[in-house]
Amino acid sequence: MGTLPQRYADPADEARRALVRAMAADGGLRDPAWRLAFEEVPRHLFVPYYYVPVPSGAGRPARWERLWGEDPDPVRRERWLRGAYTDGPLATRVRDGELISSSSQPSLMARMLAALEVRHGDRVLEIGSGTGYNAALLCHRLGDTRVTTVDLDPEITESARAHLAAAGYRPTVITGDGARGAPGRAPFDRIMATCALPVIPDDWPAQCRPDAVIVAPVSTGLVVLRVRDDARGRFAEGRFLRVPAYFVPLRGTGDAPLIRTRGLPRHTVENDLFRFLLALTAGGLDPHEALALWEREGRPRRDRFGITVGARRQWAWLDDPGGPYVWPLGSFGPED
């Protein structure tokens, strides 16, 4: 047997290609341009260290083990590299035992990037810089000058900027309130949020061009909104994807709605789809109304639901934004 080509000699290179092959085999990365981005952007440069949970006794605070690429122990270094190219999320910042930032699951990132439907020349705003990895994938596809990423935490933006530079990318990295967007860089053709939201901030559609796309996690799903103008003014509307999505919440947006489950059957409360509906309807339906709706409509999946974002008002709906099943979500604004 001959020797492997030099480009396969690097363990990180081999691990990255193995991850991409697995993602493609699972039905992801159908767009060759995104497949190339995942093949060529080195994820391990964006997670020089991360944390893995350590089992602890009941009632004890969460414990985390830190893995890092400069560990003197070769076995632990190998664990770090293997984990960096596993198709799963990675906890990258933990404070007082609480997860505050993470690197998203690569296959979920690929789905979100595909849903964004970017075109050549698009200007993209990313909300939630994280490690900088997602911004790097966008830069690979669109070029540095077309990508802006914003995060509230200066430590996160500083490290994201350093990771991006180490990988050869230099998008605009802003420290600021992601709920306010990036007005100085608007207008945008695409907005992608990598943090969970209770509602869509009003400033995002306002900073978009007509026909722009917004992809964001709301409740435990991913909603894909198209921005339009009509007689009502600027609005955004669209449906959820079928896949579940769990992200660290966008900081500065207040507490998520309290989901009450008392009196509901335990097996129903533990159902992922029903919990999605509970979170989505928390501003407009009580839990028993939500249960009745869910049972009456045949336990609908996420992709039957959608959101409409209007001027200072937004609502969720089942099947049709003008149909019988509509409820308010709320809005971001000065009174918040």
Active site residues: 101
Reference 187, options 200, 204, 170; nearest CA is 204
Residue 91 main-chain phi, psi, to 5 deg: -75, 115
Is 219 within 8 Å of 316 (Cβ atoms)?
Answer: no
Q: Are strands 90-95 and 305-310 parallel, antiparallel or unpaired?
A: unpaired
Is 182 within 8 Å of 148 (Cβ atoms)?
Answer: yes
| Burial (0-12, 13-18, 19+ Cβ within 10 Å), 101 | buried
Per-residue tokens: 190: 């695409």
Q: Are strands 233-244 and 221-230 parallel, antiparallel or unpaired?
A: antiparallel
**Helix (H) or strand (E) segment spanning residue 225:** strand 221-230
Which stretches of 143-236 are DSSP H helices?
154-166, 203-206
Is 296 within 8 Å of 221 (Cβ atoms)?
Answer: no
DSSP class of 262: T
**Helix (H) or strand (E) segment spanning residue 52:** strand 49-54
Rounded distance between C-alpha atoms, residue 72 and residue 45, angstroms: 18
Task: Compute the C-alpha angle 92/93/99, nearest 5°.
Answer: 105
